[in-house]
Structure 1
Amino acid sequence: MAEYGNRRLAAWMAQQDMSAGELADAVNRAIGRFTGRPGATSPRTVFRWLSGENKWPQAPQRRALEMVTGRSATDLGFVPRGTAKLSAPAPPEDPAVDRRTLLGAAASTATAAALPLTAVPAATRPHQVGTADVLRLRDDVERLAALDADRGGHGLEKAALAGAAEALRLQTHSATQRVRQRLFSLAADFTATAAWSLIDAGQLDGAERHLDRALTLAGLAQDDDMAMQTWNLRAMLARQRHHYPEAVAAAQAARATTIARRNPLYASLAHARTALALAHSGDTRTALAYLGRAEDTLASADLREPRSTWITFYGPAELYSLTAIIQDLVGRPAEAEAASHRALAELPHHYRRNRAHTTARLALAQLHQGDAEQACTTSSRVFALMAGTPLPGRLRLLLGDFQRDLINHAPSARLAQEWTDRYRTEWSPS
């Protein structure tokens, strides 16, 4: 990436593979949404933003940038003039173009059936496919991610595959090579999301087929980011199948991607996945060494930089959660408990499924230290957190591990039986 005065805006544009002309067009369309007249932003204006010559765009342009990117002007690297402060963006007149509105709506959606993708009917779809189509589909990716964070990825396969089909269907229209690559990238992202849906549901048989397809689409897109996502999910899938050497190899393949070699955030995730697979394999020393690498590389990452939707989950909270699992696996339950507490303290509120999963790991760590009654109390919070939502298959399996260990570690059979009787209905698959 060339050196720019506004590195945050440049990073966002590079992540979206968006040229100055395409960003100018998107800003002008957004301005037209709330003024009734398209804006007059030119590629030259965008270059002035990138160079830092223009540090604070005009108000309509700022609002349009926020609508297009889903980020505040200051998050995009712009600096208010003098003592001027960035006001909160006014609510968009057309909520379909504001990603934050879409995410808020998605987070409150209870089922995947209530998640219609925003595909344009074939009869009204324009012959020329462009950036607006790419942004529309990217909004759908983000809506799926919001649902996953709230209630888990299970049940999203159908919607994700519909999104992939729409991205590929648009390839039949006239488009630039840049747009075609973005559509392949989106198809890869949707397909990987479909694989994740099955992994989170504990339905592992179909996930590998989706991952193979996602990796092919990532190659067609020449998108290293999507390839990294696919290898990350393949490592998770292999670990759940107890194929630990394959899990290690997949995590190392993720680490070998160009984006992981260049970006410490991605490298940290690959190191953490390697550590987890090695801990399951019984290689404690090497697992802890890779965990240390994950911590060191994450410490050097700029967490404010724009990133792809799929990896927004990863940061200090997720690394603490993975640390808790690894420490428990290598026989250090006290360290696992401490890491779980740190994860829960750092975890953003909207990651409800992750919070429930980490709480279950905390209960296991407490149980492995002999505090069965406290562990039962802690595990009860899992059901409270996920109230009103079916438990994802992965979470049910984890609670199954808890029940098995409770039977083995509880001071009396009565305690284990009471826990089972109390939560049997909520725990059972629906």
Structure 2
Amino acid sequence: MEGNEDLNCAMREAGLTQAELADAVNAHLRAHGHEGTVSDRTVRHWLTGKSRWPHRRQRDALEAVFGRTAEELGFVPPGRPSPAVEPEQHVRRRNFLMATTATAAMVTPINSRPSMVGITDVIRLRNGLDDLMTLDDTRGGHESLEQAALVGASRAMDMQHRAASQRIRQRLFSVAADYTATAAWSALDARHSDRAEQHLSRALYLAGLAQDPVVELRVWNSFAMLAHQRQHFTQAVDSAQAAQATAVSRRDPLFASLAHARTAVGHSNLGDRQAALRSLGHAGEALAKAEQGEPRPSWMAFYGPAELNSMTAIVRDRIGDAAESEAASHQALSAIPEQFRRNRALATTRLALAQLHQRDVDQACDTAASVFGLMSGNPLPGRMRSLLGDYYRDLITVAPNAPVTREWGDRYRLEWSRA
């Protein structure tokens, strides 16, 4: 008898125990006038595969709790040998047909009800985060995304005024912290540093109330990037090391790898070659131990071998290893998923910098120009504009009188005006 791994994964993503899922299903049944008779033993039968197709009312309740069909939760109708479910992440099941002016609508609305807040409400509210991260992957940080995230945080905090268990209150604080951290990231990517710092401070406070080490790591990672933007490189290292010290870094090697990689970037900015390479080594070792199939929040989807190669390219270029930086950039670009368009554009700019620092000016300019095509249709996020500005300054330094420098400068100014 095969266990139901889809349901098990959905429960881990939502942070639900068997008893909590039973409570959530029973709450839905009672809200619709039915008797709530599901127990943790019932859930155990679902998980082990002993019960492969629950009663209709139970299926409806499960679908409401998780926002997925029964088949997507691993249940099999009688007479069907296996679930006909495409192997895609939950976030990719939605049709993402949202214009920028309607970004705020992606935060899933919660109906105001006098009843007690339950896990279903928390899951429904958290689902909006996936949509925001999808937009960020494609376009990058911008003000409407930032505002939509703040709306989500406000809704989570408003629900604190309703009756709820202490565990649900902590989860609401966690959702609010995640939304606020998303707003901070959007401001950071747009290079609105003062707003980013304000949001990060608030997110760290909420994460503390939630006792959520995952959000704490996310905030410290963003603090390290903010310090880098402000050229406070010692503070960037301190923030990255704070991310290393979180409980989730000790528990999950993937998060530890990100924290070590961010520390390596900080050391490279300080010119500490050995410390930077040592941190890169720790990042690689941790990543090799990480279980890639484990459920993690959608904001962490960007990190893996491709992103570590991207960060390696940054470190290598800053410590003077331009050839190694170019190789790492090529490795990153060969592995970055297509949906991470902003990340591909950033990695491409890093490749251009590595080529330029090897005096391959024509190739570097061709590479850098391709960034505008990658981001066609959307304004360049502030962080990318800044990086392209760094490229142009280095280009003028390396080849001030070359015709390609003037040509690229004209293209850069044209694209800048469009942004």
State the TM bucket, normalised to the shorter chain: 0.7 to 0.9
Structure 2 regions of 5+ residues with no counterpart?
Answer: none
Q: Return the letter of the residue paired with 1:266.
A: F
Question: Residues of 1 paired with 2:312 and 2:7: CA distance?
Answer: 33
Give the 5 Å matches for 1:249-328. Answer: 249-328=238-317
Q: 1:62 to 1:130 in 2, by over 3 A?
A: closer
SS of match in other structure, 1:387: coil
User: Would the alpha carbon gap of residues 31 and 418 (structure 1) be closer, same or farther in structure 2, given more than 3 Å must change?
Assistant: farther
**Which of 65, 73, 87 is the matching residue for 2:84?**
87
Q: Report 1:96-135 matches (<5 A).
A: 99-102=91-94, 104-105=95-96, 108-111=97-100, 113-116=102-105, 117-120=107-110, 124-135=112-123
Looking at structure 2, the residues matched to 345 and 57 of structure 1 have their Cα atoms a distance apart, in angstroms, of 42
Letter in structure 2 aligned against 1:150: T
Which residue of 129, 136, 161 maps to 1:148? 136
> Do the aligned residues in 2 keep the contact of 1:8 with 1:305 (CA within 8 Å)?
no
SS at 2:193's partner residue? coil
Corresponding residue number in structure 1 for 2:14: 16
> In 2, Cα distance between the equivalents of 1:279 and 1:416?
28
Q: How does 1:326-337 map onto structure 2 within 5 Å?
A: 326-337=315-326
Q: Do the aligned partners of 2:264 and 2:275 also contact (CA within 8 Å) in 1? A: yes
Is 1:244 the equivalent of 2:242? no
Letter in 1 for 2:200: L
- Cα distance between partner residues in 2 of 1:169 and 1:69: 22
| Correspondent of 1:345 among 334, 340, 344 | 334
Structure 1 residue 376 displacement after superposition: 1.1
Relative to 1, partners in 2 of residues 1:377 and 1:26: Cα closer, same or farther, differing over 3 Å? farther
State the Cα distance separating 1:362 from its structure 2 match.
Answer: 0.9
Q: CA deviation at 1:69?
A: 5.2
Equivalent of residue 406 in structure 1, options 392, 395, 410: 395
8 A contact 1:29–1:38 mirrored in 2: no
RMSD: 3.3
Q: Contact conserved, 1:363 with 1:376, CA < 8 A, in 2?
A: yes
CA contact (8 A) 1:261 1:267 kept: yes
Tell me how far 1:21 sits from its aligned partner: 3.7
* Counterpart residue number, 1:48: 45
Of residues 142-151 and 68-77 in structure 1, the stretch that sits farther from structure 2 once superposed is 68-77
Q: Which residue of 2 aligns with 1:95?
A: none
Provide closer, same or farther for how the CA distance between residues 30 and 358 of structure 1 changes in structure 2, counting only shifts above 3 A: farther
Check the 8 A contact 1:251/1:273 in 2, yes or no.
yes
State how far apart, in whole Å, the 2-side matches of 1:301 and 1:55 are. Answer: 32
The one-letter amino acid paired with 2:285 is: D
262-271 or 150-159, which moves further after superposition? 150-159
- 1:167 paired to 2:156: yes
What per-residue deviation string (whole Å, max 9, x for no partner) do you get for residues 288-320 of structure 1? 010011001001100101011221211111111
Q: 1:138·1:186 contact (CA, 8 Å) conserved in 2?
A: yes
CA apart distance, 1:13 = 3.2
TM-score by length of 2: 0.87
1-structure distance, mates of 2:308, 2:411: 32
Quick one: which amino acid aligns to residue 19 of structure 1? T
Q: Is the 8 A contact 1:70 1:100 kept in 2?
A: no
After TM superposition, give the deviation of residue 53 of structure 1 in Å.
5.9
Deviation at 1:62, TM superposition (A): 8.6
The farther-off stretch of 74-83 and 16-25 is 74-83
3-state secondary structure, aligned to 1:418: helix
Return the offset for 1:321.
0.7
- Which ranges in structure 1 are unaligned for 5 or more consecutive residues? 91-97
Count of aligned residue pairs for this structure pair: 409
Contact 2:146 2:183 in 1 (8 A): yes
Deviations 1:87-115 (A, max 9, x none): 1369xxxxxxx75444x31xx43415433
Q: Secondary structure at the match of 1:307?
A: coil
Q: Does the aligned pair in 1 maintain the 2:323–2:358 contact within 8 Å?
A: yes
The range that moved more, 16-25 or 393-402, is 16-25
Q: What's the offset of the Cα at 1:278?
A: 0.2
SS at match of 2:385: helix
Q: Is the 8 A contact 1:12 1:307 kept in 2?
A: no
**Relative to structure 1, is the Cα distance of residues 391 and 30 closer, same or farther in structure 2, using a 3 angstrom cutoff?**
farther
Structure 1 pair 83/41, CA: closer, same or farther in 2 (3 Å)? same
Amino acid across the alignment from 2:314: I
Q: CA deviation at 1:227?
A: 1.0
Structure 1 residues 9-18 or 290-299, which shifts more?
Answer: 9-18
The whole-number CA distance in structure 2 between the counterparts of 1:27 and 1:243 is 50
